[in-house]
Amino acid sequence: MIKTVFSKGKLVAKTGNEVMAEAMHQIEPDVVAAYPITPATEIVQIFSQFVADGVVKSEYVAVESEHSAMSATIAASAAGARAMTGTSSQGLCLMWEMLYIASGLRLPIVMAEVNRAISAPLNIHGDQSDTMGARDSGWIQIYSENSQEAYDNMIQATRIAEKAKLPTLVTTDGFIISHCMEVVELYPDADVKAFVGEYKPERYLLDTKKPYTLGSIDLQDYYFEHRYQLAQAMRDSKDIILNVAKDFEKTFGRKYEMYEKFMLDDAEIAIVVIGSTAGTAKVVVNELREKGIKAGLLKIRVFRPFPTEQIAKDLAHVKAIAVLDRADSCSGAFAPLHADVVSSLYAAGVTTPKVVNYVYGLGGREINTKHISEVYEILDKIASGAQNPANQVEYINVRKK
């Protein structure tokens, strides 16, 4: 995210959960159905208070589980409502079956998702195992480095989902962003409402003048075609995401892309990362630049759809790259983000960069500037001719014995 000019908003100190709830308040969806789970509980708790106080006219549905939360949200969206929900970790896992139904029915649901480790062992702190596990469920995935981005992404997600006819989730890193307070610029309610606009679905189940069937059985004759259409809609959504970002910049003065390049254009070594760790890495990049080392950073904002061609182009000149994953595949050759980055380079015929994979921060384990500096030191050696690390996947700040 690049700040270009100040809009006519106000500066306030709020947590990531608070600003996501504030975005929902300003959007004022017709229906929100949710079940509480740490560390996302506050988002729907705060929003439910807005409903109770009459601040919004939304219908809040308190359900008995996250599976029911997504089921109710799907029903509301299919009926023609602008519908939203929120969850985290095991809650997202309990929604698994319904995630595919939401995308397969092309319902523009928006979810506030707080990244958290998946049990077992039980852990309530942040890593990205939950949403990485849902990466192929047909949901657009937008990640946030800080609370400002979480707020901005929620506002943009509403228009993106409704234009693409795809469910969209916006994430923050659990506790690191969700519960930490920062200064955030909030925009006037009227401006946000005008930006997202009134929701006018092309068709919906409660439209008695244009009845249609939704969710019928779909066997060999047409299932393949409908799944192809879903995949094509995801590919086409890249242009929608960028167009919404351009309108957002015109309205609120903040510029967004599919990913952010930080001192990358002339970089010889670079890290690719998602989420709050990008902010820590930027500090290290600035320090290395002061020493004359051409370090850079590529921060993924939109993980699904993955910006394959663009990333290959922007990383082609880099000599050595470290892809930092806050999730582990356990059974795959590499972790999820690394697999997509390397596949993108290979598909584009880019063979110059040497790419290494690091897994970090599982269960909220600390990653600091020292850890990231050590990664850049290894990249500098690789760029100068040293061999890649012996292991396919290296682990940062973990006890191996």
Q: How far apart are CA 185 and CA 229, in angstroms?
A: 38
In this prediction, residues 277-293 reach a mean pLDDT of 98
pLDDT of 6 reads 47
For the question of whether the overall pTM of this predicted structure is more than 0.85, the answer is: yes
Sheet arrangement for strand 140-143: 59-62, 31-34, 83-88, 110-115, 168-173, 140-143, 302-304
Average pLDDT, integer, range 120-132: 98
Spatial CB neighbours of 221, under 8 Å, sequence gap ≥ 6: none
pLDDT of residue 7: 53
* Structure token digits, residue 322: 């470290």
Which pLDDT band, with edges at 50, 70 and 90, does 5 fall under?
very low
Amino acid at 119: S
Q: SS3 for 54?
A: coil
pLDDT score for 297: 99
Nearest C-alpha neighbor of 29 from the set 12, 42, 43: 43
Q: Which of 110-124, 181-195, 207-221, 260-274 has the lowest mean pLDDT?
A: 207-221
Contact of 282 with 297, CB cutoff 8 Å: yes
Cis check: omega of the bond before 29, within 30 degrees of 0:
no
- Determine the pLDDT at residue 400: 85
Is residue 344's pLDDT more than 80? yes
Please say if the pLDDT value at position 241 is more than 60.
Answer: yes
Mean pLDDT of the chain: 96
Give yes or no for residue 378 having a pLDDT over 50: yes
Verify cis geometry, omega within 30 degrees of 0, for the bond prior to 353.
no
Q: Give the model's confidence band at 292: pLDDT under 50 very low, under 70 low, under 90 confident, else very high.
A: very high
Q: What's the confidence (pLDDT) of residue 373?
A: 98
Q: Hey, what are 200's tokens?
A: 């006018």
b/e map of 130-169 (b: 16 or more CB within 10 Å)?
bbbbbbebbbbbbbbbbbbbbbbbbbbbbbbbbbbbbbbb
309-337 per-position pLDDT tens digit: 999 999 999 999 999 999 999 888 899 99
Q: Give the pLDDT of residue 213.
A: 92
- For residue 282, count other CB atoms closer than 10 A to its CB: 18
11 pairs with which residues across the strands?
Answer: 185
Mean pLDDT calculated for residue range 236-263: 98
Give me the percent of the chain exceeding a pLDDT of 90.
Answer: 95
Q: Single out the residue of 59, 50, 96 nearest to residue 77, CA to CA.
A: 59
336 close to 318: Cβ distance less than 8 angstroms: no
Is the pLDDT at 342 greater than 80? The verdict is: yes
272 in Cβ contact with 322 (< 8 Å): yes
Question: Among candidates 199, 175, 203, 160, which has minimal Cα distance to 305?
Answer: 160
pLDDT of residue 352: 93
d(CA 335, CA 401) in angstroms, rounded, equals: 21
Q: Which helix (H) or strand (E) holds 17?
A: helix 16-27
DSSP state of 148: H
User: What tokens does 105 get?
Assistant: 């029915």
How much is the pLDDT for 332?
Answer: 85
Kindly tell me if the per-residue pLDDT of 4 is higher than 60: no
Which positions ≥6 away from 53 have C-beta within 8 Å? none
Digit-coded pLDDT (tens) for 9-20: 999 999 999 999
Residue 300's SS3 state is strand
Indicate if the pLDDT at residue 301 is higher than 80. Answer: yes
Which pair of tokens denotes residue 150?
A: 């979480």
Task: Reply yes or no on whether the pLDDT at 168 is more than 90.
Answer: yes
CA distance 58 to 84: 10
Contact at 8 Å (CB) between 361 and 125? no
Q: 111 pairs with which residues across the strands? A: 85, 169
pLDDT value, residue 2: 46
Average pLDDT over residues 172-201: 98
Write down the pLDDT at residue 253.
Answer: 97
